[in-house]
Amino acid sequence: MATQIRRTGLYDLHLSLGARMVPFAGWEMPVQYPMGVMAEHLHTRTQAGLFDVSHMGQVLVWPEDGRIETAALALESLIPADVLGLPQGRQRYGLLTDDAGGILDDLMFAHRGDHFLLVVNAACVTQDIAHLQTLSGVRIEPVTDRGLLALQGPMAEAVLARLVPAVAAMRFMDSQIHDWDHADLWISRSGYTGEDGFEISVPAARVKDLARALLDQPEVAAIGLGARDSLRLEAGMPLYGHDMDTGVSPAEAALGWSIPKVRRIGGAREGGFPGADRILPQLAEGARVIRRGLRPEGRAPIREGVAIFAGDSGGEPVTTVRSGGFGPSVGGPIAMALVPADIPEGNTLWAELRGKRLPVKVSALPFVTLSYKR
């Protein structure tokens, strides 16, 4: 029996704005609006873009004994991060790992005083909740009555501060609750574009009201999944299921920065998470392959699945593209792949496209300068 595709609370609004809808992770989502992907991308980089991300999973983790430390240590048994050291009102990026050292999902976790709020990927919600429910000493509460919006771009602060003045004082990775028109907004200063911005969890009954209030601002345009993908690619941000999965370790995904010293070899809370026996030695010694940028010469984009070779003829592929496309802000094609760590930055590799090999340079990530408010 086919799984019924779901719709967010903004489905009718998307249609009224002329969105082209596509199935994505079990949801019907806008891939672009009449402005087009290129213009949406550039609008977000210069003004402010509004994204419907209500398909993402929101999960509350409550300590059964009322002690936040209990919940923090429980989460640390699944997430190789410093959950215990996270101050109230702040959030961090983390990973769920499996026993083989692969990545089950990536997520954000926020300390909200007496509990934690987790935001997980749409395609992984069911498995992540089941995984979290194996923890003892905590209560897992999926949030089913709220939508989620992302407001991203250099004008995001000015726009949101007209509705919620207190957000102007928030720093990157702050997580706070503020009132807007008698609705509790759970706001974090974060996002997935490389730009300054906010993610806003809003009661489902008010999500359309807030979206319209934001779209009424002259700097704001609705942005679809197409531009969301090119924005995150330029920012060097991995996408679960593409740049990382259960076959890729944190070190290989270039996400070792999310695992602090306290959880590494010699740290006060070393290991204690799934796959530590593979992950920790890789962090100490370096992985054989690592997620890196590729800059193809010319204008032809190289997309996911394209084979990459060491030479311009013969031989076996050294890797395949994990994410790729055109970078509107970069002005050319860009891609990411798991590249052997011993290949120096700036070296030329070769992408096989329609029977021809095209030169690509190994590049540093990100492709654009990130613009967060520290």
For 181-200, what is each residue's pLDDT tens digit? 999 999 999 999 999 999 99
Does the pLDDT of residue 1 top 60, yes or no?
Answer: no
Identify the burial level of 226 via C-beta atoms within 10 angstroms of its C-beta, where 0-12 means exposed, 13-18 middle and 19 or more buried. Answer: buried
Please name the amino acid found at residue 208: K
6-51+145-234 and 288-374 agree in CATH topology? no
Distance CA 185, CA 84 (A): 25
Distance CA 374, CA 365 (A): 20
CATH superfamily membership of 288-374: Aminomethyltransferase beta-barrel domains (2.40.30.110)
Q: What is the DSSP letter of 251?
A: T
In what order do the strands lie in the sheet containing 103-111? 91-97, 103-111, 116-120, 57-63, 138-143
Protein fold of 6-51+145-234: Gyrase A; domain 2 (3.30.1360)
In what order do the strands lie in the sheet containing 20-24? 6-7, 27-32, 20-24
Distance CA 314, CA 30 (A): 42
278-310: pLDDT as tens digits: 999 999 999 999 999 999 998 999 999 999 999
261-272: pLDDT as tens digits: 999 999 999 999
Task: Map out the domains of the chain as residue ranges.
Answer: 6-51+145-234, 288-374
Does the pLDDT of residue 34 top 60, yes or no?
Answer: yes
Mean pLDDT of the chain: 97
Phi and psi at residue 277, to the nearest 5°:
-70, -20
Percent of the chain residues past pLDDT 90, beyond the cut: 97
Q: What is the pTM of this model?
A: 0.96
